[in-house]
Amino acid sequence: MDIPEAEVDITPGLVRLLLADQHPDLAGLPLSPAVHGWDNALLRLGDALAVRLPRRERAAGLALNEQSRLGEIAARLDTPVPAPVRVGVPGRGYPWHWAVVPWFEGRLAAEVPAADRDALAGPLADFAVGLHAPAPADAPVNPFRGVPLAERSAGFRLRLESVPGLAHRDRLAGVWEGAAAAPPWPGPPLWLHGDLHPANILARPDGHGLAAVLDFGDLTSGDPATDLAVAWMLFGPAGRSAFRARVDAAGAVDPHVWTRARAWALLFGVLLSAHSDDSPLLAGIGARTLDQVLLDGDARETGRG
């Protein structure tokens, strides 16, 4: 599946006009395209900032969630996150809200060699524990994140069948059926990142340590197992064990959280495998995640886990 087509032509010229109208003190800084993702365009602004603009209507509401909520969350986190430093409103023919955010130097965790990722286990666990505080009643709700697994079962089965040439399809289906029967999250809805995968995690430039966690467009509330799926999406057995131990030591999860988290990892792995034909990076995350989910099952069956 190709990246969705932009619904607005976002050019450096347009962004410079928006800055000149709304933040003229920033309009003279160097401006260059950085990346166009599924939902947002990112342009680097000077040395320390970036401009982030939704490129399709679906993302516009998610951008508002970030603008209205991420600042208060960032204030209690030790991990750098792209909380807006300035906000922008529609103008010059551009129809949605946008933001100026910090620019972080680093390397996507998905691009860090597998053998070097374990250094991220401790700081990423600390990030998750710090983020997963009770959310207020008016927190954003995402019907695809943080919900009971039973609500995703029909969609999972459809996605699983849609991945061409998928190995171990029956085993993966069995993993889901077993995990989906786990008791649901018993606590209050917690703040969630909602899309905590290796392409939204930035390692330090040398690959050792956590530089930032990116893209809070799916910010929502619910079951922390959704975010803890990153244990299978990023790490091998040693890093996963370290990550889990650090989270468990904080005492903020229920006994069944890792069963549900493995199921969320399986769901995300299938989604990425089904819809990343145009992105080798995301397709690789999907394939690795499914391998790790099955590896955990093999370890249990042979008494190694």
Q: Residue 303: what pLDDT?
A: 39
CATH no. for residue 84?
A: 3.30.200.20
The token pair at 9 is 């032509």
Total domains in the chain come to: 2
Residue 58 has pLDDT above 50, yes or no: yes
Q: Residue 36: what pLDDT?
A: 67
Computed over every residue of the chain, the mean pLDDT equals 92
Domain annotation covers residue 1? no
Residue matched to tokens 């401790």: 122
Same domain? For 69 and 112 the reply is no
Percent of the chain with pLDDT over 90: 81
pTM: predicted TM-score of the whole model, two decimal places: 0.93
Domain annotation covers residue 3? no
Same domain? For 65 and 89 the reply is yes
Residue 142 belongs to domain spanning: 107-303
Domain annotation covers residue 174? yes
Same domain? For 179 and 280 the reply is yes
Same domain? For 198 and 277 the reply is yes
Domain-ending residue, one of 102, 133, 161: 102
Domain annotation covers residue 95? yes
Q: Residue 3: what pLDDT?
A: 62
Residue matched to tokens 């930035």: 202
Domain annotation covers residue 6? no
Domain annotation covers residue 299? yes
Q: Residue 1: what pLDDT?
A: 43
CATH no. for residue 249?
A: 3.90.1200.10
pLDDT tens digits for range 242-281: 999 999 999 989 999 999 999 999 999 999 998 766 688 9
Domain annotation covers residue 193? yes
Compute φ and ψ for 102, nearest 5 degrees: -65, 150
pLDDT tens digits for range 10-37: 999 999 999 999 999 999 999 999 876 7
Same domain? For 262 and 284 the reply is yes
pLDDT tens digits for range 149-166: 999 999 999 999 988 889
Domain-ending residue, one of 77, 102, 127: 102
Same domain? For 184 and 267 the reply is yes
CA angle, 233 then 237 then 241, to 5°: 95
Domain annotation covers residue 66? yes
Same domain? For 60 and 112 the reply is no
Domain-ending residue, one of 78, 102, 126: 102
Q: What is the secondary structure of the chain as a DSSP string?
A: -PPPPPSS---HHHHHHHHHHH-TTTTTS-EEEEEE-SSEEEEEETTTEEEEEESSHHHHHHHHHHHHHHHHHHTT-SS-----SEEE--BTTB-S-EEEEE----EEGGGS-GGGGGGGHHHHHHHHHHH-PBPPTTS---TTSSS-GGGGHHHHHHHHHHSTT-TTHHHHHHHHHHHHTSPPP-S--EEE-S---GGGEEE-TTSSSEEEE---TT-EEE-THHHHTHHHHH--HHHHHHHHHHHHHTT-S-TTHHHHHHHHHHHHHHHHHHS-TT-HHHHHHHHHHHHHHHHHHHHHHTT--
Same domain? For 83 and 144 the reply is no
